[in-house]
Structure 1
Amino acid sequence: MQNPAVPDPDPDPADPDPADSVPAVSDRAGPGSLDPHPRSPASSDDPLLAARFAIPAAPKVLVRRPGLLGRLADGVRGPVTLLAGPAGAGKTVLAAQWARDRTAPRHTVWLTVEPGDAPGLFWAYLLEALDRGGVRLPVEVGRPARAEGADHSLLVRLADALAASQEPVVVVLDQFDAVSAPEVAAGVHFVAGHAAGALRLVLTARTEPLLPLHRYRAGGEITEIRNADLMFTAADAGMLLRAHGLEITEAGIARLVERTDGWAAGLRLAALAMQRSADPEGFIGAFAADRTTIADYLLSEVLAAQPPAAQELLLRACITDRLHPDLADRLTGRRDGDWTLARLARAHAFLERVDGSDWYRLHPLFAEVLRAHLAHRYPGLEPRLRSQAARWFAGTGRLTDAVTQAAAAGDWQFAAGHLVDTLAIGRLFTGLDTARLRDAFAAMPATLPGAAPALVDAARRLVDQDVPGCTAALARADEFLSAGPATPALELVRSMVGVLAGRAGGDLAATRQAAATADRLLQEVPQPLRGQHPEIPAMVLGGLGAAELGAGHLDRAEQVLTDAVTGCESPGTEQVLTDAVTGCESLGTDQPLRDCLGSLALVELLRGRLRRALAHSRRSLAVAERSAAPPDDAVGLGHLVMAGVAAEHDDRAAAHTHLDLASETAGPRPDPASAVTAAVICSRLAVADGDWHGALEILRTAETTLVRPPPQWAADELVIAASAAHLAHADPRAALHALDAVPSDRPEHAVARARAQLATGRDTSRALEVIADLPADTSAPATVRVQACLLRAQAAADDGHSDQARRLLQQALRLARPEELRRVFVESGPWVHQWLLQNPQRAGGRDWLPTPIDPSPRPADDTALPALVEHLTPRELEVLHQVAAMSSTEEAAVALSISTNTVKTHLLNLYRKLGVARRRDAVHRARDLGLL
């Protein structure tokens, strides 16, 4: 209950004593002067409390909020301004701050309304407030004759007197929701409506006042400043903390604002506690509302102020983030949930309606305090309430809420069973609620009986890249499934997880078998249920396609992955994957779609189709960006492919940039195809930088991470790259020795062997014969066909066959031009450069190939940086300043209110425009150009 002796309805721990308040008087002396013992005209035995006329003094720490002060100042130009919000929202502080401001109208009077004021007493106080404020009213207006009421004629005389005044009068009625007598509210409405606009009301209230607000709104006669407006922003909170002598990072301030939901009193109380903490920044992470003065405040000011039935509902409903009236009835066993919740929302009891729907939301701090109070008052009740809520949510189709409530109750059988029975296990891997579901099952014991818990355990271990643990969990699930009849849902979930496990473990046969089983079982699942989970076929096909890619079966991988992408389109949509935005993303297939596009991009890169690879990778990254994928998701494949394309284009700065981005987002255990590709690209860049030894070390490290035995094509790619590193060191024998370690009939291997053999200067005829037909072999990658032409051209030139060398080099240029394959020309040696200089007329149409071609090693961070030819956008400049401040990607995202993927995209543009490959170089370059 509110204490009538306290004039401020928003108690603030930093507020001074009310005795220090400033009387609201005008600059005119006279009858408005303060009498320490005034008498109520309504009752000569009752003195008037002088404190009720005083503007509360400013808190010791005050955050000035110009925007709200401006809105309030604009509002008093009209009849009514309402400041409505919960306890501690800062209503009284804001109104008092404005009233003390010199820009407030000269006749601004203050009256704190208190519960229990009889109608006559209210009007006696209001008339006295006007008098003390210098408002000269005719004697004929009079005073109430009795405390119980005021004659209507008095209100008529008051309205006429105000209408005749030359200046408007602003009356601040603080705590106006304390008015419980309808006749008082009706009288205020009457006087305001008949004072010819001379009376301006400023009302503060925790609950909706008894005035006809709908009429004011319809007439445009009210300005409303509500809780959403009063909530502190991160900037406001930063000023408050600094005023308390606290230096907190922007990320810490953002976390505190999120925890308190911008509640002014909560922030102030937290600041006071942080002043006493040895580690203020760490305090935010360990902030527990139930163990601070915030709990006392909320329990006494909010919970205790509610009727017993409402208190009981709040205590039982605090176990869920969102509350529906029907759920409230389920938890309380009553039928008044709709009415009670609406009343609590109108009363600003830290409960608000969600976007005009039937749902309500508790303030997070209040919910936290209520849960602690529930555990103390009713030990053991919370798990039972959560189990009830879980079944209600399940019955209404709200899977995530049902699972999280059951998990919080320790009801693991229901949580796991519901996830499996509804075929929703794919939501542990993809979808908007993935993080919530993963967190819900994090504490589930691994030894629970039943197939459903074992399958959920397998899935969560797969999410954590624990392939052996996943395999063991699947074995437990198989034991339970073999013990009795299994539902189609159980068998389908088993097959789907089996596909993903087989791919992760590099077991193509197991992946194919599980995919075939899943495809058969999908046909047995009722269409309505199957239609609710398009992520299942997408994940099955995506997993199979990635497994085929990992085994080096590029044709099969392309076919399966293309089917997966096509299947991601939602039924009925006419939008095709033209910009990576499909209807299926809203259905939880964003991650499979992203992964399938990334894998398709890798297929095209391995085939040398760089344009297609670049298009698929960009679409993959677009899906990740538009679906706000978290940074730890495997979105690195798109960047990896873009790095490979940049390397083939001999754009090493871009290649390094994309490799950095790929390493940040590739996850802890990349699949074999991406791991090998990354190693090969890194080794080629190291060779280009003159570090052949580092290139070999990269390849050796990659070889140790592959599954045993590794896929033949993967091992072959590594030894081919190793042979190139040895050749860079002028050691063709070591290059041949590396190739001998992996017998292969792949054209890539044949070209690498021919190159090494040619470098020895001996017995080149056999090697050249092997690759003689490759330029015409359209099934071979374009890079291989170009290399074969260049090697044969070099051999012809060495033998003095100039015409043949020219024809072969021209053929290589024609083959390389569509994809702009520059790397192979740079690596071929100085003879290519010399021939192009000597025969410019025979190499027409090679504007895509730089001149001169410089095959000599050069550092990627060459100090001879190009001039800035493309201006930075305003957002790129903001990101640049974050980089200069040594902010991490996540910190920059928080500071700029954008996603981490957007920050990374801006970084990539920065690197490209500045001609650098790393953050450090970007800052140095920007300073040289005067951008910082």
Structure 2
Amino acid sequence: MLKAKLALPPAQPMSLSRPRLLDLVSGSLKRPLTLLCAPAGFGKTTLLSAWVNEAVDRPAVAWLGLDEDDSDPVRFFDYLRAALQGADVGVGSSATAPLSGAGSPSPKDRMASLLDDLTELDHPVVLVLDDYQAIDNPELDAALTFLVEHLPEHLRLIVATRKDPQWPLSRWRTRQWVAELGTDQLRFTPDEAMAFLVRSMGLALDAESARTLAARTEGWVAGLQIAALSLQRHVQLEGATNLAQVATAFSGEHRHLIDYLAAEVMRQQPQMLQDFLRKTCILDRFSADLCDAVTERTDSRQMLVQVERANLFLRRLDDQGRWFRYHQLLADFLREGLAEPERIELHRRASAWFESEGMGKDAIKHALAARSDADAVRLFRSLVEDMLARGELPTLLAWLDMLPASLVRRHQDLAGYRAWLLFMSGRTVEAEEYYALTGAPDVAESSQEHKGILFALQAFLAITSDNPARAIELSRQALDQLGSSTSFFRVWALFYQGLGLLRTGLPKPATEMLRQALELGWAFGHRMTALDALAHLAPLMSAQGQLREAQLLCRASLERCSPSDEAQAPISGLILIPMGMLAYERNELHEAVELLEAGVALCRQLGNLYHTLAGECALAKVHHARGAREQAWNALATAQDLADRSRNPRRQRMVRMAVADLQLREGNVAAAKQSFEEIRAAVESSIEGQLLLARLLLASNHALAALRMLAAVEASCRSQGQAGLLVTVHVLQALGHRANGGRSATLGHLEKAVSLAASGGYVRPFLDGDGALAGLLRQVSSAAPAFVGGLLEQFRQPANEDVVEANTAGLTGTQLEVLRLVSQGLANQQIATRLVITLGTAKWHVSQIFEKLGVRNRAQAIAKARQSNLL
């Protein structure tokens, strides 16, 4: 991380104090956003630098100077978090939580996570984003829009840019949320022009000449500075006798004014200095050591002092004078004059220096600019694993885009990475093209680790393409090549082998693989993949009769993530969703809703679509069990929309299964049959599909056909050790024999179900079966008296007792309770403790309350709630 991007800018040498503008900036902080928008050279950064150094009683300032690389959301939020921490703002790293192949969270969701940490800000802070025009990412524009519209009371935002950002400025102007300083305010007045020319530039000009120059340059700061430099040179060569005449003759209307004046300035400099400027202009930011490496000189420190003294558009980026940059106008002019061979050589030297300093990302940027393909590929391979684990997917894809397509196609690992990244970014057609290139590794060119990574990538792509058998084989090959490595891809390969085994109907070995992925993920620090494994492992353990063990494993994992480690709050969604599913099995419906709602919200932040869909489908089932039919169908409608937009058949089938299940629960057998028939060919070989079909047959009065199917399912569950699923199988068999008049068989299967269910506390298989089971349960109570007694008690409870009436603001029952605690002055941690939820969940509920009420802070939320009779 380049500290110069975060350092508060020092006072610029030779700059002019402009009290009227300093007052405008200070006064603008009454509004959430201050926007400085003007073309290059109008002194935006200089003004903010002066305000930082001269303003009286200014708030704490978090400064971030942006460049084009910050269009990558992970990089942007890394720097944004660091800038805030530099201003003593306590923020975690939830906005940059590590990611795996599940996909990236949207920048808006990252911003929501960051805002959770900013909610309790207790002192005024100003966040300055300089050079925002460098950001080219609509999703980051949306994230900053979200920030402005939910800005905490003590935080203000100042943005300097050359063009208006893609934000709803018209709406904000109407609401008086934005203070704007533009070209008209930033222009030099005649008096300021006079003061600048005389005091800062040392020119003995009369007032009339100064006014003429100000008029000719239209108050353009950079234009006036270039003109003054030309006049300084004139004084050096010919004296000051006719200075006023030269100033009056100056024309600010020249078509190529910037090039003309810059050329004049450059022409007047010593050749050695011109050469130094030309060779260093390729650098966005530079130090003396870097300049030495690029220019092959040893006196760059002295040269930079000379450039600064000559006022040649050099800006210090830190108080120590270690890092600098050129004004963009000068840099653009100088780069235009570079010949291609020289430019390539300079970038090559810069790349070598950055690599030697351990700054790989800068090194690859210059290697790509130098067209050093071999170096770029080598650097890419050295960086890719860490960047994948961190989720810096846009940057990786941009680097691959800059490499020749023929080169990427020749290297199987590069083609695999590109296919994976294209899948993640939604460019499925292109992804398939590169996926086709990832065949067996070329033994001649590949190391063992290289081949292992390629096999792991192919395993992911096979899972994505709904080919679990191939994923198993590829994962095994990856593990063979990676051996005892601590690589991210070793954990990845274990995870995808587990998924492949699970999806081919082999739950026992799948459990072992997922356990290994979980354990190694924790050991190696790859939390995202570890918890993705847990999210699949916990339901699998429940199916195997280990409901209590699964709950304990989830709770232990949650302890490792939050609240003690707030930085990982979004990934805790991968734990909360399976915990909600397990709570449903025990008929703990209120807890299930809380866990699933929070888990779905966090998985949305994480960008994990699969688990978001699984959570919505589970939530629909829980809502229906509580009697909240409308909420149940709303959850499935949301899931259906997400699945359809993904265009992923497996995800669409998962939702259709949930739809058929809910239709069957409501007694709409015809609709359930139609929904099931749409997916029957793809799901009827799975146990879940067979159980749903058996229920359909029972509901259609085909008990014998259902019993034949259930006998086969029972045998399969026994052979695979799925004692948890056997509870449901035996309940359905009991219902089938009851419909067929077999009393002895009915009680026999019901007793088996009770015996299996009691140790784990499986309740829902009985409640989801048939109300008539209550009478039969009394006859098998000897198998587990206390358990059956509890079951009978729950049969007597009304289904809708847990439903909370909706309110006009759309707040859930939990959010109403959180709102009540907010009104009592409780902090997020206190709310979490009171409601027995994680800190991350409490923060998310507070954020949702703000959004639903259309407010930006707690005080506004309380006032709005009282107006709406919510308190």
Structure 1 CA distance for aligned equivalents of residues 473 and 534 of structure 2: 23
- Selected match of 2:764 from 823, 831, 836: 823
The one-letter code matched in structure 2 to 1:786 is V
Deviation string 1:257-294 (CA, Å, 9 cap, x unpaired) is xxxxx999x978989999xx98999999999x9x9967
Structure 1 CA distance for aligned equivalents of residues 224 and 703 of structure 2: 90
Q: Given the superposition, is the C-alpha separation of residues 352 and 94 from structure 1 closer, same or farther in structure 2, using an over 3 Å criterion?
A: closer
Deviation string 1:320-346 (CA, Å, 9 cap, x unpaired) is 566565433211211235677799999
Structure 2 CA distance for aligned equivalents of residues 472 and 686 of structure 1: 44
Structure 2 CA distance for aligned equivalents of residues 806 and 489 of structure 1: 58
Q: Given the superposition, is the C-alpha separation of residues 341 and 10 from structure 1 closer, same or farther in structure 2, using an over 3 Å criterion?
A: closer
The residue that corresponds to 1:431 in the other structure is 390
The residue that corresponds to 1:785 in the other structure is 726
Q: Which has the higher helix share?
A: 2
Q: Shift of the alpha carbon at 1:430? A: 1.6
Deviation string 1:452-485 (CA, Å, 9 cap, x unpaired) is 6545533432433545534432544659959x75
The residue that corresponds to 1:557 in the other structure is 510
- Selected match of 2:399 from 431, 434, 440: 440
Structure 2 CA distance for aligned equivalents of residues 663 and 869 of structure 1: 23
Q: Shift of the alpha carbon at 1:431? A: 2.7
- Selected match of 2:353 from 392, 395, 413: 392
Q: Shift of the alpha carbon at 1:661? A: 1.8
Q: Is the contact between residue 679 and residue 699 of structure 1 (CA under 8 Å) also seen in structure 2?
A: yes
The one-letter code matched in structure 1 to 2:466 is G
Q: Shift of the alpha carbon at 1:777? A: 4.7
Partner of 1:844, secondary structure, is helix
Q: Is the contact between residue 680 and residue 699 of structure 1 (CA under 8 Å) also seen in structure 2?
A: no
Q: Shift of the alpha carbon at 1:738? A: 4.6
The residue that corresponds to 1:500 in the other structure is 460
Q: Is the contact between residue 425 and residue 493 of structure 1 (CA under 8 Å) also seen in structure 2?
A: no
Deviation string 1:327-378 (CA, Å, 9 cap, x unpaired) is 3321121123567779999999744569x9xx95447xx6655643542564
The residue that corresponds to 1:414 in the other structure is 375
The residue that corresponds to 2:199 in the other structure is none
Structure 2 CA distance for aligned equivalents of residues 917 and 757 of structure 1: 46
Deviation string 1:521-543 (CA, Å, 9 cap, x unpaired) is 335xxxxxx96x72132222223
The residue that corresponds to 2:707 in the other structure is 767
Structure 2 unaligned blocks of 5 or more? 1-11, 31-44, 58-85, 90-122, 131-140, 150-154, 187-216, 230-261, 829-837
Matches within 5 A, 1:474-489: 474-476=435-437, 481=442
Q: Given the superposition, is the C-alpha separation of residues 279 and 445 from structure 1 closer, same or farther in structure 2, using an over 3 Å criterion?
A: farther
Alignment pair present for 1:519 and 2:479: yes
Structure 1 CA distance for aligned equivalents of residues 224 and 758 of structure 2: 73
Q: Is the contact between residue 727 and residue 765 of structure 2 (CA under 8 Å) also seen in structure 1?
A: yes
- Selected match of 1:654 from 591, 594, 610: 594
Q: Is the contact between residue 617 and residue 636 of structure 2 (CA under 8 Å) also seen in structure 1?
A: no
Structure 2 CA distance for aligned equivalents of residues 230 and 699 of structure 1: 41
Structure 1 CA distance for aligned equivalents of residues 657 and 54 of structure 2: 76
Alignment pair present for 1:604 and 2:541: yes
Q: Is the contact between residue 604 and residue 612 of structure 2 (CA under 8 Å) also seen in structure 1?
A: no
How much identity, in percent, do the aligned residues show?
Answer: 15
- Selected match of 1:731 from 647, 669, 676: 669
Structure 2 CA distance for aligned equivalents of residues 515 and 759 of structure 1: 42
TM-score, normalisation: structure 1: 0.53
Q: Is the contact between residue 393 and residue 402 of structure 1 (CA under 8 Å) also seen in structure 2?
A: yes
Return the structure number with greater relative CO, CA threshold 8 A, min gap 6: 2
Q: Given the superposition, is the C-alpha separation of residues 641 and 353 from structure 1 closer, same or farther in structure 2, using an over 3 Å criterion?
A: same
Deviation string 1:809-838 (CA, Å, 9 cap, x unpaired) is 676556445544443343233335677899
Q: Given the superposition, is the C-alpha separation of residues 809 and 737 from structure 1 closer, same or farther in structure 2, using an over 3 Å criterion?
A: same
Q: Given the superposition, is the C-alpha separation of residues 519 and 751 from structure 1 closer, same or farther in structure 2, using an over 3 Å criterion?
A: closer
- Selected match of 2:493 from 507, 520, 540: 540
The one-letter code matched in structure 2 to 1:11 is L
Alignment pair present for 1:844 and 2:782: no
Deviation string 1:536-590 (CA, Å, 9 cap, x unpaired) is 322222232233333343222222222233334xxxxxxxx4xxxx5x33xxx34
Structure 1 CA distance for aligned equivalents of residues 659 and 724 of structure 2: 14
The residue that corresponds to 1:906 in the other structure is 843
Deviation string 1:879-905 (CA, Å, 9 cap, x unpaired) is 99xxxxxxxxxxxxxxxxxxxx97665
Alignment pair present for 1:372 and 2:303: no
The residue that corresponds to 2:581 in the other structure is 644
Matches within 5 A, 1:673-822: 679=617, 682=620, 685=623, 689-690=628-629, 722=660, 725-726=663-664, 728-729=666-667, 731=669, 738=676, 741=680, 752=692, 755-759=695-699, 763=703, 767=707, 770=710, 777=718, 781=722, 783-791=724-732, 812=753, 815-822=756-763
Structure 2 CA distance for aligned equivalents of residues 521 and 252 of structure 1: 47
The one-letter code matched in structure 1 to 2:764 is R
Q: Is the contact between residue 686 and residue 695 of structure 1 (CA under 8 Å) also seen in structure 2?
A: no
The one-letter code matched in structure 2 to 1:596 is A
The residue that corresponds to 2:39 in the other structure is none
Q: Is the contact between residue 593 and residue 623 of structure 2 (CA under 8 Å) also seen in structure 1?
A: no
Q: Is the contact between residue 787 and residue 824 of structure 1 (CA under 8 Å) also seen in structure 2?
A: yes
The residue that corresponds to 1:862 in the other structure is 805
Structure 2 CA distance for aligned equivalents of residues 317 and 876 of structure 1: 59
Partner of 1:335, secondary structure, is coil
Matches within 5 A, 1:279-294: none
Query: What count of residue pairs does the alignment treat as equivalent?
Result: 659
Structure 2 CA distance for aligned equivalents of residues 855 and 253 of structure 1: 42
Alignment pair present for 1:11 and 2:23: no
Partner of 2:805, secondary structure, is coil
Q: Is the contact between residue 736 and residue 753 of structure 1 (CA under 8 Å) also seen in structure 2?
A: no
Structure 1 CA distance for aligned equivalents of residues 527 and 622 of structure 2: 33
Range moving further from structure 2, 787-796 or 343-352: 343-352
Matches within 5 A, 1:146-185: none
Q: C-alpha root-mean-square deviation of aligned residues, in Å?
A: 6.7
Structure 1 CA distance for aligned equivalents of residues 440 and 180 of structure 2: 47
Q: Given the superposition, is the C-alpha separation of residues 798 and 685 from structure 1 closer, same or farther in structure 2, using an over 3 Å criterion?
A: same
Q: Given the superposition, is the C-alpha separation of residues 271 and 412 from structure 1 closer, same or farther in structure 2, using an over 3 Å criterion?
A: closer
The residue that corresponds to 2:255 in the other structure is none
Structure 2 CA distance for aligned equivalents of residues 918 and 273 of structure 1: 25
Partner of 1:830, secondary structure, is coil
Q: Given the superposition, is the C-alpha separation of residues 733 and 930 from structure 1 closer, same or farther in structure 2, using an over 3 Å criterion?
A: closer
Structure 2 CA distance for aligned equivalents of residues 695 and 269 of structure 1: 42
Q: Given the superposition, is the C-alpha separation of residues 816 and 717 from structure 1 closer, same or farther in structure 2, using an over 3 Å criterion?
A: farther
The residue that corresponds to 1:215 in the other structure is none
Q: Given the superposition, is the C-alpha separation of residues 759 and 378 from structure 1 closer, same or farther in structure 2, using an over 3 Å criterion?
A: closer
Deviation string 1:145-167 (CA, Å, 9 cap, x unpaired) is xxxxxxxxxxxxxxxxxxxxxxx
The one-letter code matched in structure 1 to 2:601 is L
Q: Is the contact between residue 273 and residue 303 of structure 2 (CA under 8 Å) also seen in structure 1?
A: yes
Partner of 1:429, secondary structure, is helix
Deviation string 1:209-248 (CA, Å, 9 cap, x unpaired) is xxxxxxxxxxxxxxxxxxx9999x985579x9xxxxxxx9
Q: Shift of the alpha carbon at 1:791? A: 4.4
Alignment pair present for 1:334 and 2:297: yes
Matches within 5 A, 1:295-314: none
TM-score, normalisation: structure 2: 0.56
Structure 2 CA distance for aligned equivalents of residues 229 and 697 of structure 1: 44
Structure 2 CA distance for aligned equivalents of residues 928 and 779 of structure 1: 58
Q: Is the contact between residue 593 and residue 620 of structure 1 (CA under 8 Å) also seen in structure 2?
A: no
Structure 1 CA distance for aligned equivalents of residues 817 and 639 of structure 2: 37
Structure 2 CA distance for aligned equivalents of residues 600 and 660 of structure 1: 18
Deviation string 1:491-531 (CA, Å, 9 cap, x unpaired) is 444333222222221223432333343334335xxxxxx96
Structure 1 CA distance for aligned equivalents of residues 551 and 181 of structure 2: 42
Structure 1 CA distance for aligned equivalents of residues 657 and 446 of structure 2: 48
Partner of 2:772, secondary structure, is helix
